[in-house]
Amino acid sequence: MPKPAVSKPAVSKPAIAPKLSPATDAAAAGMVDLRELVPDLAQEIRYASSDNFVGRPVEGYGAARCYLLRPVAQALQRVELALRREGLRLKVYDCYRPARAVRDFVVWAGDLHDQSSKSAYYPNLDKSVLLGDYISPTSGHSRGATLDLTLLRCDSDDACTPLDMGTSFDYFDVSAHTDWAGATAVQRGNRQRLRAAMAREGFANYPLEWWHYTYKPEPSPDTAYDFPIR
């Protein structure tokens, strides 16, 4: 018998930003470094390092910093403070993403000869299908209202460990879909805990990636930014 088709969750595509802001730094864009609001925020900004699917620092990431539009950063600060009362914290992987970084991703995705990160990031997919659902020529991250993150459990000594989410960050696979049926009860509960905490402050999840959230309504949905992160 033929195998039943695997259905994908409904995905709301981000709107294409019609204009690029002339802002040359965070202040001009109305963005704030999240650590100004949460000084001890856990961060692992992957695209400023070589620990990512491209295998090198990504264009525009001159520093490991999390910039967000101020109202978005303030909402995330509220999420963090609420989670701390439960012995949890956030760990951020990516926030504002310069438009030049998105172009860098697209160039990488188009180079089908470079398969060096396949086993770690897309073992079950052909690289040619990454453009679209996983890598887009435009990104909500460039609008300053989208970020990637996970949850940490912290004990009384502030020693924190990541919760089991079932996959690593940026794992391009059906198992990273937020409502993946194959997740264990623990993994499903952790994903739901993150989604509920973010939703309380206005963040909506992208269903193909358990780590991906956008603040709604976006403060500047028609504007993308391209200032480098320094």
Residues 6 or more apart from 208 whose CB is under 8 A from it? 8, 9, 11, 133, 134, 176, 177, 178
The answer to whether 178 touches 172, Cβ cutoff 8 Å, is no
209 is catalytic: yes
Rounded to 5°, the CA angle 95-99-103 comes to: 115
Nearest in space to 229 (alpha carbons), one of 100, 138, 108: 100
Residue 41 exposure: Cα atoms within 13 Å on the Cβ side: 29
Taking every pair of Cα atoms in the chain, the longest distance, rounded to a whole number of angstroms, is 60
How far is it, in rounded angstroms, from Cα 151 to Cα 49? 21
Place of tokens 């992987």: 93
* Number of other CB atoms surrounding residue 204 within 10 Å: 15
Active-site annotation holder among 36, 44, 86, 209: 209
**Residues with active-site annotation:** 209
